[in-house]
Amino acid sequence: MTQITLAPGKALTGACSVPGDKSISHRAVMFGSIAEGDTHIRNFLDGGDCRTTIEVMRGLGVQVDVLTPTELVVHGRGLNGLQEPGNVLDCGNSGTTIRLLTGLLVGQQFATFLNGTAQIRRRPMGRIVRPLRGMGADIMGRQMSEYAPLGIRPSRLRGVEYTMPVASAQVKSCLLLAGLYAHDLTLVIEPGPARDHTERMLAAMGAPVTVYGNKVSSERPRQPLKALDITVPGDISSAAFLLVAGAITPQSHITIRGVGVNPTRTGIVDALLEMGASITFTNPREEGGEPVADLVVATSALRGMTFGGESIVTMIDELPILAVAATQAEGRTVVRNAHELRVKETDRIATTVGELRKLGARIEPTPDGFIIDGPTPLIGAPVESHDDHRLAMAMAVAGLVARGQTVVHGAQVTGDSFPGFEVTLQALGADLLVEE
Ligand code: S3P
């Protein structure tokens, strides 16, 4: 068990970078596995969830060479080259791994079993099982197929037209992958702009994946998928913790280099700008089909705002840290239409509210979000990560402005998505102590 102890009073200044994007790192390994030839990945996220994806693909017969923790070569086996695994595929704690992989595996000529930690076995899988069955997939899971473990048998897939009830990139990606093995077109209709890394990467590999407004289709490729050289952009979801830290900590000025700014992911920047944060994008460029920029943030006077509707999916992982910003904003912040927070690594409405209240925040849960009144002078206290990386980091950032000491227990999970989080904050000047 790791704990982080934080104290306020230090300005955060300087330049830093954040590790590679988690969503893109998973996809690079998975899609590289079904490409023809070697996919070279740089700035891969060396975090727990992405390492799980490497292990699972190895279990399916794919050779993955780890040159350095952040540089890999995936020796693609082609669309039909995966091999029957000798054991249950362990998807660990990773929702992206289990949901995308299921889409890939329903089209294979062999049976597979997928499982994960207790946390993953509590997360809903019916949302992928139902539409996959609509494609003819032979798949079942625990509790009327709502939860993992999942078992898959080979079947002949047909395309579907499927309107997703909730905007989810994992569901969309799962169906697009199954669509690569189906007999006719698969069309997914999204209620909101969920992250589009799958569409971008598969299209760059030459797969027949096409986007028309809020619809995206995939079908069986006529030629092999091309292996790519992929440099993964910095993860905006990790940068979000530094953006909020910079905005709420007095006399701060931080440059975060090389952050992915795909418009399906920048909701947190738009939200913070609306709240009055001083954030600028510099040096815009493109890397591997994804827009990238350096972000500069400075201490700002924030005001409360209301967030809901379609923008929520573009900042769904950032809502815990947005809540921390809202505690320091003048007036009321309301987050609504975010029911999906209830089925993340933890019920992030309950855990964010519960832990922030320990620091004295005025925050109320609602069925689909929270209401926060600010500004509140937070007071340091012991808090828990609940084994949720984003909650642990959100609470650590709150600790940078809370009077006295804040101790985040169970903080080893920060490495799931942001290995080096603590060192990065220390290098920027934070008063932070890590104890194993
Ligand atoms: C992800 C999609 C989102 C996000 C998760 C990563 C992805 O989940 O919360 O952290 O890589 O596709 P949902 O698809 O459940 O919204």
Whole-number pLDDT of residue 248: 98
Residue of 235, 317, 387, 416 with catalytic role: 317
Distance 364 CA to ligand 1 centre (A): 25
Distance 22 CA to ligand 1 centre (A): 10
Tell which one of 99, 170, 177, 202 to mutate to probe ligand 1, the residue whose CB is within 8 A of the most ligand atoms: 170
Does the C-beta of 345 come closer than 6 Å to ligand 1? no
Alpha carbon distance 252, 266 (integer Å): 22
Task: Indicate which atom in ligand 1 lies nearest the CA of residue 100.
Answer: 12
Task: Indicate which atom in ligand 1 lies nearest the CA of residue 167.
Answer: 16
Does the C-beta of 195 come closer than 6 Å to ligand 1? yes
Nearest to residue 126, comparing CAs of 142, 106, 137? 142
Distance 250 CA to ligand 1 centre (A): 33
Residue 89 bridge partners (DSSP): 114
Distance 229 CA to ligand 1 centre (A): 24
Does the C-beta of 340 come closer than 6 Å to ligand 1? yes
Nearest to residue 434, comparing CAs of 411, 418, 400? 411
CATH architecture of the domain with residue range 3-20+233-435: Alpha-beta prism (3.65)
Question: 326-362 b/e with 16+ CB inside 10 Å = b?
Answer: bbbbeeebbbbbbebbebbbbbbbebbbbbbebbbbe
| Residue pair 289/211 in contact by the 8 Å Cβ criterion | no
Distance 170 CA to ligand 1 centre (A): 5
Structure tokens at 212: 């028309």
Alpha carbon distance 260, 200 (integer Å): 13
Does the C-beta of 318 come closer than 6 Å to ligand 1? no
22-231 and 3-20+233-435 share a CATH fold? yes
Distance 372 CA to ligand 1 centre (A): 25
Alpha carbon distance 162, 402 (integer Å): 47
Whole-number pLDDT of residue 340: 96
Alpha carbon distance 416, 22 (integer Å): 9
At a CB cut-off of 8 Å and minimum separation 6, what does 179 contact? Answer: 135, 159, 185, 186, 217, 218, 219, 220
Task: Indicate which atom in ligand 1 lies nearest the CA of residue 343.
Answer: 15
Nearest to residue 240, comparing CAs of 394, 356, 371, 413? 394
Alpha carbon distance 198, 49 (integer Å): 17
Task: Indicate which atom in ligand 1 lies nearest the CA of residue 23.
Answer: 11
Alpha carbon distance 53, 160 (integer Å): 27
Task: Indicate which atom in ligand 1 lies nearest the CA of residue 22.
Answer: 11
Does the C-beta of 316 come closer than 6 Å to ligand 1? yes
Tell which one of 21, 52, 53, 96 to mutate to probe ligand 1, the residue whose CB is within 8 A of the most ligand atoms: 96
Alpha carbon distance 175, 187 (integer Å): 9
Does the C-beta of 21 come closer than 6 Å to ligand 1? no
Alpha carbon distance 97, 114 (integer Å): 10
What is the residue-level pLDDT of the chain in tens, covering all 436 positions?
899 999 998 999 999 999 999 999 999 999 999 999 999 999 999 999 999 999 999 999 999 999 999 999 999 999 999 999 999 999 999 999 999 999 999 999 999 999 999 999 999 999 999 999 999 999 999 999 999 999 999 999 999 999 999 999 999 999 999 999 999 999 999 999 999 999 999 999 999 999 999 999 999 999 999 999 999 999 999 999 999 999 999 999 999 999 999 999 999 999 999 999 999 999 999 987 899 999 999 999 999 999 999 999 999 999 999 999 999 999 999 999 999 999 999 999 999 999 999 999 999 999 999 999 999 999 999 999 999 999 999 999 999 999 999 999 999 999 999 999 999 999 999 999 999 8
| Residue pair 87/115 in contact by the 8 Å Cβ criterion | no
Topology at the third CATH level for domain 22-231: UDP-n-acetylglucosamine1-carboxyvinyl-transferase; Chain (3.65.10)
- Domains of the chain by residue range: 3-20+233-435, 22-231
387 is catalytic: no
Q: Where is 408: in which H helix or E strand?
A: strand 406-409
